[in-house]
Amino acid sequence: MKKRIPFCDFLSRGGEKRKTTNNTRFYKHKGGFTWQGIKTEKYKDKGSHWTDVIRRVLIGNQNESAKFHLRYFEILPGGFTSFEKHKHEHVVISIRGKGKVFCGKQESARAGKQYELNFLDTLYIAPDTPHQLSNPFSEPFGFLCIVNAKRDKPKMIKKGSRVGQAFRLAQMQC
């Protein structure tokens, strides 16, 4: 029996696979980084490990058979995503404002690198790389994120880790 890979957008609420419809769809941009027919969703369930982040799933929530999902995330000034790692890779393309991304080789602030993403800068995040995105600037930071449709659930890096502390310090310095 093939083992099912759990992840956030793949299964319907009842745990059943969604039926694919594969109809061509057009999502008209309405301005303000919103698209007709696309809902604004919570980034994740509530928690103190992230703040001021929204997401919009452009491809992946409408019963497509695509092997990838395309999501738009927006981080408000002072906001940040969870500090996490997982077995799947992603591609991040900055399309609004600017933001910072910490990518670590290990779960340590000394073993990583911080990048500043500006308009159309693109970052590939390799599997099992601890990472966190933040917005220490005064304008919203919006980016497209491409991930595998079948993906594992992220593993949160401990609160109070050196990377989390380093990121909060970097946010204060900007």
pLDDT score of 132: 95
Q: Determine phi and psi for 40, rounding to 5 degrees.
A: -85, 130
Could you give the maximum distance between any two Cα atoms of the chain, in Å?
Answer: 52
Determine the pLDDT at residue 168. Answer: 52
Rg (CA), the chain: 16
DSSP per-residue letters across 75-96 = EEEEEE---EE-SS-EEEEEEE
Cβ(149)–Cβ(67) below 8 Å: yes
* Structural element, H or E, at residue 66: none
| Residue 84, phi then psi, degrees to nearest 5 | -150, 170
**Residues ≥6 apart with Cβ < 8 Å to 168:** none
Question: What token pair was written down for 139?
Answer: 């304008």
Q: Is 62 helix (H, G, I), strand (E, B) or coil?
A: coil
Strand, helix or coil for residue 57 = strand
Half-sphere exposure of 39 (CA within 13 A, CB side): 6
Q: Is the dihedral of CA 24, 145, 16, 3 positive or negative?
A: positive
CATH class name, domain 29-173:
mainly beta
Residue numbers annotated as active site: 145
Do 133 and 81 meet the contact criterion of CB atoms below 8 Å apart? yes
The per-residue pLDDT for 16 is: 55
What is the chain's pLDDT, residue by residue, as a tens digit (174 residues)?
444 433 454 444 445 565 767 788 899 999 999 999 999 998 887 677 889 999 999 999 888 889 999 999 999 999 999 999 999 999 999 999 999 999 987 665 556 899 999 999 999 999 999 999 999 999 999 999 999 999 999 998 875 444 445 445 554 444
